[in-house]
Structure 1
Amino acid sequence: MSVASLKSGLDTLDVGAVYSSGTIGHDSPTTAAAPNIPQFSFDFDKLRHDMDVLQEKFDAFIADGRKRILEDRIVFEKEITDAKEQEQQISNQIEYYREKEAELAQESAREQQELQETESSISEFTRKKQDLIVLRDAVVAQIRETQLVVDKKLAARSQDRAKFLAQSSLNAPELAFWEKNLGLRIEGFDDDQLKIVFTLISESAWNREYYVVMDLSDPDYQIIRCDPQLDKNVVEGTVTRLNESRDFGRFLKDIRNAFKASGL
């Protein structure tokens, strides 16, 4: 029952009490019909005042409760909003870290592949290095062998040069005779080469020059040029006899006779 209904009942009770107390209508049939109803005194003003105070407190309690509920609802809704925002932020962070995890996984796979390629390249370069070391050692050994051969040839060449100079000094008087009477002239043609020139061979042209160019760079002599051109077998025969005997004077005679016999 509400406070307002209670107040209405009290107001009704108050009126009945007035009638029953006989203060209004002393000749009423009601008074005569109910002579034994007990009479009582009741402070309805105080009760009404207390009810008004109670109503005010109750209304204040209800208003305060509504206010607290509204404030709690506002706080709750704010907490829900904050929680949703935090949830969204956490979801965004989770998505971000998932993307980062995927990127790191790709980067790790790429680095692993690069590492494998680098290791493969290092292995290939190591193998090539070993091959080059072996090749270098073989080339160095070959160079040493070649150097030994060259040193031997240089030593032999020095000996031949010394023999040639010694023979030249012995043949100097005869060579001077040949140059004067037989038209023989020996010239330096190039490094380690001699040009041997003959004249007084052709009766129709005593001043015509016949010559051969000899290579002295090897232990064995070689004729590298001949003018006019002599028969190859004749030239090879004279050079072979020279290399076997080392008789340079006989060689000069053989070459002069070969030019003269050629009829050129």
Structure 2
Amino acid sequence: MASMFEPSMSSSLSRQLPMSATAPSMADSLPSINFGFDELRDRMAKFSARFDTFIEQGRKRVLEERNQFRMSIAELQEDQRMKKKDMEILQLRTNAHQQTIAKEAAEKREMQAAIASLTEQRNKNMASRDELKKQIETTQKEIDARLAAQRAHAQHIEAQARFNGPELDFWISNLCLTIEGAGKTDRLKFVYTHIDERDWEREAWFELSTSSRDYDVRHCRPKLEREKVERVLERVNESRELVTLLKGMRELFVEAVKQ
């Protein structure tokens, strides 16, 4: 660097030496000092331009980053809103699913109760069916036994009728007896005459029921004591001989008209 300028020395020299209009100036004899202001100014201008550019770029970057941050925040908020909406939808679906499960559980319990009731009813029906089968079998056996007894009785009656035909004609003649229908297929009416010595034309009759294996007297005129009729029927049902009934009933009628 050039020699240092000392103001105090120059001042003293100026005071000591008179100034002359023709004499060269002291300043002209001083060495020239270049401080580089233009270069400094140019450098400062370039620095200012670079600094302004840096500031502008920083400002733009800050604005971009802020805008990007705001966009990110908005996206996050939108994403959060969508997530919240999805959670609400999921909660609604969960509630609906839970309600469906509860409804299905209730329906399942109802179906199980219905199945249990139907099963119980089926078991009862099966038990009733088995009982009815047993009753049907028992009834069928009874029917078969009765049919067999009726067939045997019919055969016996047929055989007895063939055997007793002439004998029955004999007793009809000797007992003054006629046989008539009683208005029903299972009844016969037996009419007696000559039972009253005071009136030989007086009639006495009874109706015989043949609907069952045992004989039974339903109606008679004149009226007889039931106990006496029962004793006659008992002898007839034991012997299975119709003539016993005819003779016994005539004797009861003769006894009744004498009283």
Deviation at 1:191, TM superposition (A): 2.4
State the distance in 2 between where 1:123 and 1:183 align.
Answer: 69
Indicate if the aligned counterparts of 2:209 and 2:217 stay in contact, CA closer than 8 A. yes
Give the whole-Å Cα distance in 2 for the aligned partners of 1:42 and 1:100.
85
**Deviation digits for residues 46-68 of structure 1 (CA, Å, limit 9, x no counterpart):** 44653553354235314412430
SS at 2:165 equivalent: helix
Q: CA deviation at 1:89?
A: 2.0
Q: Tell me the secondary structure at the aligned position of residue 39 of structure 1.
A: coil
User: Is the 1:156–1:219 contact (alpha carbons within 8 Å) kept by the matching residues of 2?
Assistant: no
Structure 2 CA distance for aligned equivalents of residues 86 and 75 of structure 1: 16
What's the TM-score once normalised by structure 1's chain length? 0.69
Secondary structure, counterpart of 1:190 in structure 2: coil
Preserved CA contact (<8 Å) 2:222 2:256 = no
**Residue 38 of structure 2 aligns with which residue?**
43
Structure 1 position 256 matched with structure 2 position 250? yes
Partners of 2:143 and 2:97 lie apart in 1 by: 66
Paired residue total: 230
CA contact (8 A) 1:157 1:218 kept: no
Following superposition, the deviation at residue 76 of structure 1 comes to 1.5
Q: Which residue of 1 aligns with 2:142?
A: 146
2:181 matched to which residue of 1? 187
In the alignment, does 2:103 pair up with 1:93?
A: no
Note the alpha carbon deviations across 1:149-172, whole angstroms, 9 max, x for none. 212321232123303432552245
CA 1:144 to 1:246, structure 2 compared with 1: closer, same or farther past 3 Å? closer
The answer to whether the Cα contact below 8 Å between 1:183 and 1:198 also exists between their aligned partners in 2 is yes
Partner AA of 2:226 in structure 1:
K
Deviations 1:171-215 (A, max 9, x none): 454366369xx3634325312211112345456766554321111
CA distance in 1, matches of 2:222, 2:32: 187
2:226 corresponds to 1:228: no
227-236 or 250-259, larger mean C-alpha shift: 250-259
In structure 2, the partner of 1:107 is: 103
Mapping for residues 241-252 of structure 1, pairs under 5 Å: 241-252=235-246
Distance 1:135 1:245 in 2: 40
Aligned equivalents of 1:221 and 1:61: distance in 2?
A: 139
The answer for unaligned runs of 5 or more in structure 1 is 1-30
Query: TM-score when scaled to structure 2?
Result: 0.70
